[in-house]
Structures are given as C-alpha cells and as structure tokens.
Structure 1
Amino acid sequence: MTRLSRLLAGAALAGALAAPALAADQDLIVFDWAGFENQALIEDYVAKYGQMPTYAFFGDDDEAFQKVSSGFKADVAHPCSQMVQKYRDAGLIEPWDVSRIPEFANIAPRFLNSSIFKDDTGVWYIPTDYAYTAIAFNTDQVPAEDVASLAVFTDPKYAGRISLPDNTDDTWSLALLATGVTDWTNVTEEQFQAAAAWLRQAHANVRTYWADPSELSQLMKTGEVVIAWTWNDGVAAMKREGVPVEFNRTPKEGVASWFCGYVNFKDQPGSEDKAYDFINAWLAPGSAKGLLENFGYAHANDKAMATITVEELKAGNVDPIDGIVLSQTPIDPAMRDRMTQEFETIKAGF
C-alpha cells in the first residue's frame, strides 16, 4: 500500500512523469514517488557525492510498472510490496548483494517474510518505509462515533462528502476490511464479489477519488470532503495547514498497513556502486527522523526506529495500534489485476 508523499500539484506531477526531473548526479537515476527527492532521506549519499541523484517520478505503482515495462530505464525504483512479483516475473530486476548493505541485518524480519522478496536466488527487495491507510475526518463536521466503523463510507448521511484513493490496493483494502476480510492473500470468489458490491455502494457517496494528498487536503480544507480513506502523510500535511482533521486507525473492522522499498534494475544505465551508496544512505539510522518529519512514515530499519521516541511516533500516527490490521503484503498478480479492472469498472459507474 501506493504512496507516499505525493505533495506536488497535479499539473506539476503530470510534467514530472514525462521526463526525469531534478537532474543532478547523472550516474544514478531513481524512479520514485513524487516528493521523495528529499535530501533528509539520503544525507550520506549527498555528503559523499555533493549532489542528489537524478529523479524521475511516478504517481502510482501500476503507472510505474507500465512505464518501466515499456522501456523506461532507471537504476533503482521504489515500488510497494505488492508489486515486486510483477517486476520479478517481467525479468526487470536482479537481486541485491546484501553483503554490500551493512544495515540490511537491521531490517525488521516481518518485512522480508516472503519468498517474493528473499529466496535461494537472492534478496530481490529492500524494504524502507511503512505506515497506515485509515480514516481521516473533519472534527468540526463529523463526530468521532460516526467513524467508529467503516460503514461510514456507505452512510447516506455523507453522500457526496467522502473521498477514496484513486488506487487499487488502498481502495480494495478498505472494501475487504469493510466486508470482514483481514487477510487478502487468499481472497475467495465470494469475498471478491462482496467487496466489489460494497465498493459500488461506497462509490455512490464518493465526491471524487483523490490522486495525491495535496488534492485531498484542498477538498478537506474547503469542507467539500469531510471523510476520507488516506495515508499518514496526507493527515500530517493537513494538520500543518490548520485543517481540523484527525486520523482514526481503530475502526472496529480494522485499517490497512503497507510498506514500500527499492528494487535494483537489470541492465541499469548508471553506476551500480552509486545504487548501493543510495540504498545504504536510505537505511542509515539518521534517515528515520527525516522520513518521519517529512512524510509521517516509519522506517523498516529497527535500529533506525530506535532513534525515534514513542511520543514522536504517536505524533506521526505510526506507533503500534491495538486493533485489526490488514497487511498489504504481496498477492497473486492475477487477483490484483482483476481488482484493478473491477475498480475501473466501478469508477465508471458500472
């Protein structure tokens, strides 16, 4: 679960998709979520080379995969966990040499507990960041008891005043949770149909499907939208802008968690050494605070997380929660493709 601080306006993002942006170190091209060209995440790299890498941006995981599979060349990319199988199946990536990544040993084991990420052929994925997808609500207009259940998204009381992500993984995590599924790794036909039917009900209440947190922030700032399914960074940004918003991570049906990380492309155009310097900088303990302060996300490196206080984690809504969590771990690519197709059909009103 698709992400991260996509804080650029839509027009700026569209322009960024057309070509690499922020050209700097031409020996390393990083294909990343818009907003992640942040020095606080890779201070050691900048200290060593005196400049940032060259970045190219994408707006969601499916778009990124399509671009790369169509021939776009980069050295590393930042997909979320459920996409790694597609990159492997397409033959686009190669294993990382973890002997060159000292902090790999400190990555929390739960993020590598899949043969898709790590098997006898090597380590295919370096997890770096994680957070939650939950309910953001306007505290001036929505009582807390109304968001105690995910049923709020189908409540006629809020028709035309809710927003969902324009994103397969996040929106399906909501629909599955709302219909009683807490593990999406083996969704049955009955569960799929129930979640799709629920999404159609929610669609009737949707004012718009938000594409990036800045869009959602504007909608909630004006009061057009008062309830949304969103990530930590969007809520953190709205609070900084003075929007009366809170983040409920404990509705009775549960919330979703997701994590993202980096893959290493085959036949990369740039420097392999710099790719390793980049990932080592990302995993350095000092990057955890920059990740939390700039994005509201937590770090996959346990040693790095040990530098963050419990109070800081609570302030960012990334402290552990006592409730149901659907983990957006990898699922069968065929099922995910089916979810994507069904989501597009629902958005079109069918």
Structure 2
Amino acid sequence: MTKLDELLSRVRLDRRSLLAGAAATVAAGALAEPRRARAATTLNWMGWQGYDSPLKQGTFLADNGIDLATTYIAGNEEIITKLQAGGSVDLATIYFGHVPIMVGADLIEPIDESLVPDLGKIFPRFLDVDSIRHDGKLYAVPFTWGTLPMVYDPAAIPEAPTSWKDCLKDEYKGKVALTDDISGLISTWSQIVTGTKTPTRLTKAELKETVDFLIKIKKEHARTFSPNYGEATDLFARGEVVISAIGWDAQVGFADKKGKKLTYVLPAEGAMAYMDTIVIPKNAASRDLAYKALAQAVSPKAQAVLAAELTQAVVNSEAVALVDDANRAIYQYGNLDKLLERAKFNPFWPAEDDGTHATYDQVQDEYQRFLQA
C-alpha cells in the first residue's frame, strides 16, 4: 500500500460531516436515496444532503431530460473510496483540501472551463486557491464556502472578543462551546500555541503541544464536547454556552431560526476558511450532463437556492443580490477581501513524512488522544 493509499483509507470526517442535528443533515441511517434503473439520461451525483438542491431548482432537470440519481455522504472520503473502486459517479462535491489527493490518484479530470459559463462570475479569491489547480489546470469549481470564527452570544458578551484566548477567561469557564472538528480545532489553536503561520504544517512536537492545550480546554473550560455544530448551536440557544473555542459562521443563521441572536468575530490570530467544490470524475459516464449540472449549480439562481435552504455562502458574485439580508450579513460579500485576510484557506496536511512536518496520519493519531482525554 502506498502512502497515498494509506492517506485515502484514513481521511477523517471533516467540517460538513459534523452538521448532524442542523437543518441540512439527513436523518441517521438515511444517507442515500434508492437508486433508479440506469438510463441514458441518468446523472449520478454524490455529495452532501442538500447540496443537490441547486440541481432541482426550477425546471432544470426536466428541461435537460435528466434523471438525477443521488447518493448522500457522511464524509468526503466516501467519494474518494467509491471512485477508487470504480463506482459510477458523474458529478461530486468535495472539500477543496482533498482535490490534490484526487488529482494525485488520477480520479478527476481537468475542468473544461468553456463549458462553465458562469465561471467568470465566481469571486476571484476562490478561483485563486492553489489546491484546486494543478499544472496550470483547474480541477475543481468553487461551490460554497465559509469560515470557522469565534461565535458568541452578544447578550452575554456585549463587547466583542478580540482574541481566541478570550474564551479562556475565568468568567467563561463551563460556558465554552467546543465542537468535534479535527481540522478546525488544530488549525485554529496551533496558531495560538505555537505561533505557526501555516497551521497544517506542524512539527510533531508542535502538534503534540497543540493537542495538549486542546485537552486542557476540553477539561477545564468547555461546557461539553459537542459532536457537531448543530448541537453546539442548541447549547447557545439554551443559554448553556456564551462563547466558542471553535465555531462556524453558519451557526448565526441556525440560531436565528431558533429565535436566538448570535454573532461572530474573526480574532486577531486569524481563523480557518473552507471551500466545498464540484469535481467531475474521470470515469463519468454522463460527462455532457455533468457539465450541464455543474453550470447549473454555480448559476446565480441556483446558488441563491443553496443560500436559502442551507444557510450557505454563495460563490457567484451575481447571486449576492438574490440572497436575503441575513445571508449577506453573515458572509460579508462586500468585504470579502478583508474577511479572507483574516480567514485563511490552509493547504491539506502532508500525505508523506518529509522528516519535519506531521503527516495527516499522525494528526489523526494525536486527535484520537484528544478525543479520549
């Protein structure tokens, strides 16, 4: 087994998989819709529950004679595993950090940019993310994005926090939200603990030091350890927590639907940004339909559906005028460049040991120590 194969077999569930309990999550045990018989017009789509909503917008499917066969996932690794096994997938959504892995494993094709009319309307900051390009070719199209900021209750904390360390103040002991998010937690707190500028490039000693500190937060400051951001939002809504050691900007929208006002801040030390993308597998049987669906998914009206139904951020600049005021307030589209100066798209963890930095296998091993503490 190669190092790449080992990494592919161990890729851990990431941010989107932690949404159980929020509006966009499928009920337990219902991760996939039954497949219909394969037809010439069938489009096999694989991704998160709700991410197929833009494809169902309006009369797109009927107009193009598409029979959409959906497979919902619980983690990005399911897509990688299925493609490695030769499974039939025409279009998939994937976290941007996994794109280099898929390129290295020869699982996806370069995007034919001429077949994505709205590509030029996508905010340049998302198209400029290094991980989605290889040898000058675009391999993934931005679909939605967000940040992992510090979420807090302004009713309990009238003055906005300025540092991640503010959640460790004595007055917040037992009132801190801590959520199970391997990349979010380690990327966020390694900056504070070690001073690193690239949180996914840690020495083994820095990784251990960061996890030791997270264990301290877990034991001495957190109210509880939430398995997902949906449950963490419920803690805020009940008044059990007032500040987070890791958050998700979408929680502001989730809380609003529960009648609770939350807000967030990007602390001085910075925060992690994420982006989910759309890729076309090399074995796509319905390639033409896949490109039609890809173009639909990033069109302004379809992006607005994503924002309305999932409280997600849009990537198409022309979709901003179509989303509601609450969505615009959460994602600050008009201030995007400044926002993304504080929230960074970090490269994925190293797949192989370079003698200096911790590999993703080692990150997972250390995170297990945190989970068990």
Matched, 1:166 2:180: yes
Query: Which of 252, 268, 282 in structure 2 is aligned with 1:235?
Result: 252
Q: Is the 8 A contact 1:296 1:318 kept in 2?
A: no
Once the two structures are overlaid, the 10-residue window that deviates more, 210-219 or 87-96, is: 210-219
**CA 1:293 to 1:264, structure 2 compared with 1: closer, same or farther past 3 Å?**
same
Matched, 1:217 2:233: yes
Find the aligned partners of 2:145 and 2:89 in 1 and give their Cα distance. 23
Say which structure is richer in strand. Answer: 1
Matched, 1:2 2:2: no
Count of residues paired in the alignment? 344
Once the two structures are overlaid, the 10-residue window that deviates more, 163-172 or 49-58, is: 49-58
Residue of structure 2 equivalent to 1:266: 282
Residue of structure 1 equivalent to 2:53: 38
Residue of structure 1 equivalent to 2:192: 178
What is the identity percentage for the equivalent residue pairs of Structure 1 and Structure 2?
Answer: 22
Aligned residue identity for 1:333: A
- What secondary structure does 1:94 align onto? coil
Once the two structures are overlaid, the 10-residue window that deviates more, 129-138 or 190-199, is: 190-199
**CA 1:271 to 1:90, structure 2 compared with 1: closer, same or farther past 3 Å?**
same
Q: Is the 8 A contact 1:108 1:300 kept in 2?
A: yes
Gaps of at least 5 residues in structure 1 are none
Q: Is the 8 A contact 2:99 2:131 kept in 1?
A: yes
**CA 1:292 to 1:309, structure 2 compared with 1: closer, same or farther past 3 Å?**
closer
Residue of structure 2 equivalent to 1:206: 222
Deviation digits for residues 14-69 of structure 1 (CA, Å, limit 9, x no counterpart):
3133x436979971222212332324875463352477723222233345545554
Query: Which of 212, 231, 244 in structure 1 is aligned with 2:261?
Result: 244
Deviation digits for residues 255-292 of structure 1 (CA, Å, limit 9, x no counterpart):
22211111112223x52222111110012122333233
Residue of structure 2 equivalent to 1:98: 113
Find the aligned partners of 1:344 and 1:101 in 2 and give their Cα distance. 41
Find the aligned partners of 2:238 and 2:37 in 1 and give their Cα distance. 38
* TM-score of the superposed pair, with normalisation by structure 1: 0.81
Residue of structure 1 equivalent to 2:344: 326
Find the aligned partners of 1:309 and 1:86 in 2 and give their Cα distance. 33
Backbone CA RMSD of aligned residues: 3.5
Find the aligned partners of 1:232 and 1:105 in 2 and give their Cα distance. 26
Gaps of at least 5 residues in structure 2 are 1-13, 353-358
Find the aligned partners of 2:104 and 2:281 in 1 and give their Cα distance. 13
Q: Is the 8 A contact 2:208 2:366 kept in 1?
A: no
* TM-score of the superposed pair, with normalisation by structure 2: 0.77
| 1:110-129 aligned within 5 A | 110-113=125-128, 116-120=131-135, 122-129=137-144
Q: Is the 8 A contact 1:185 1:329 kept in 2?
A: yes
Deviation digits for residues 220-252 of structure 1 (CA, Å, limit 9, x no counterpart):
222333333222222201112102322x22322
* Stretches (4+) displaced over 6 A: 22-26
